[in-house]
Structure 1
Amino acid sequence: MDRQERLQKAIAKSGFTSRRKAEKLITDGRVKVNNEKVTELGTKVGPNDQIEVDGIPLEKEEPVYFLLYKPRGVISSVSDDRGRKVVGDLISDEIDQRLFPVGRLDYDTSGLILLTNDGEFSQKLIHPSYKINKVYVAKIKGIPSKEEINLLKKGVEHDGEYLKCVSSRILKTDFKKQKSIIELTLQEGKNRQVRRMLESLGYQVEKLKRERFGPLNLGNLNPGEYRELTPHEVKQFSDLAKKNVK
Structure 2
Amino acid sequence: MRIDKYLANMNVGSRKEVHLLIKKGIVAVNGVTVKTPKQQVKESDQVTVNGDAVDYQKYHYFLLNKPKGVLSATEDRSQPTVISLLAPQDRYQGIVPVGRLDKDTTGLLLLTNDGQLNHELLAPNKHVDKIYRAKIAGVADDETVKTFAAGMTLGDGTKLQPAELTILAQDVDHDTSEIEIKIREGKYHQIKRMFGAVGMKVVELERISMGQLTLPEDLKRGEYLELQLDDIMK
Using the size of structure 1 for normalisation, the TM-score is 0.68
C-alpha separation in 2, matches of 1:234 and 1:182: 25
Comparing 126-135 and 141-150, the one that deviates more = 141-150
**Preserved CA contact (<8 Å) 2:166 2:180:** yes
Instruction: Answer whether contact 2:140 2:170 (CA < 8 A) is retained.
Output: no
Q: Counterpart in 2 of 1:234? A: 232
Cα-Cα RMSD: 1.9
Please point out which of 175, 178, 182 is paired with 1:178.
Answer: 175
Counterpart for residue 221 of structure 2: 223
Query: Is residue 130–residue 183 contact of structure 2 (8 Å, CA) maintained in 1?
Result: yes
Instruction: Give the alignment partner of residue 142 of structure 2, picking from 146, 164, 171.
Output: 146
**CA distance, structure 2, for counterparts of residue 195 and residue 163 of structure 1:** 13
Task: Report which stretch shifted further, 214-223 or 107-116.
Answer: 214-223
Aligned counterparts of 2:61 and 2:187: Cα–Cα separation in 1: 23
Q: What CA distance in whole angstroms lies between the structure 1 residues aligned with 2:98 and 2:227?
A: 14
For 1:226, the aligned partner's letter is: Y
- Taking structure 1 as reference, are residues 199 and 167 closer, same or farther at Cα in structure 2, changes over 3 Å only? same
* Displacement of 1:169: 1.3
Deviations 1:26-83 (A, max 9, x none): xxxxxxxxxxxxxxxxxxxxx9xxxxxxxxxxxx9610111000011110000124x1
Alignment counterpart, residue 155 of structure 1, candidates 126, 151, 158: 151
**Equivalent-residue separation in structure 1 for 2:170 and 2:141 (angstroms):** 11
Question: 3-state SS of the aligned residue for 1:120?
Answer: helix
Equivalent residue, structure 2, for 1:93: 88
Correspondence 1:94-109 to 2 at 5 A: 94-98=89-93, 99-109=95-105
Contact 1:167/1:185, CA 8 A, preserved across alignment: yes
Task: Name the CA distance, whole Å, in 2 between partners of 1:141 and 1:154.
Answer: 22
Q: Which amino acid aligns with 1:196?
A: R
Q: Aligned residue for 1:115? A: 111
Q: Distance in 2 between matches of 1:165 and 1:192?
A: 16
CA distance in 2, matches of 1:112, 1:165: 22
Q: Which of 183, 200, 209 is residue 203 of structure 1 equivalent to?
A: 200
State the 1:194 CA deviation: 0.5
Query: SS of 1:233's equivalent?
Result: helix
Aligned equivalent of 1:26: none
- Once the 2 structures are TM-superposed, how far is the Cα of residue 125 of structure 1 from its aligned partner? 0.4
Q: TM-score, normalised by structure 2?
A: 0.72
| Conserved 8 A contact 1:134-1:210 | yes
Give the match for residue 66 of structure 1: 62
Residues paired across the two proteins, number: 178
Q: Percent identity at matched positions? A: 37
Displacement of 1:175 after TM fit?
A: 2.2
Match in the other structure for 1:84: 79
Q: Give secondary structure in 2 for the equivalent of 1:79.
A: coil
More displaced 10-residue stretch of structure 1: 185-194 or 141-150? 141-150
Question: What letter corresponds to residue 235 of structure 1 in structure 2?
Answer: M
Shift of 1:212: 0.6
1:212 is matched with which residue: 189, 204, 209?
209
C-alpha deviation, 1:166, in angstroms: 3.4
The unaligned stretches of length 5 or more in structure 1 are: 1-13, 15-46, 48-59, 237-246
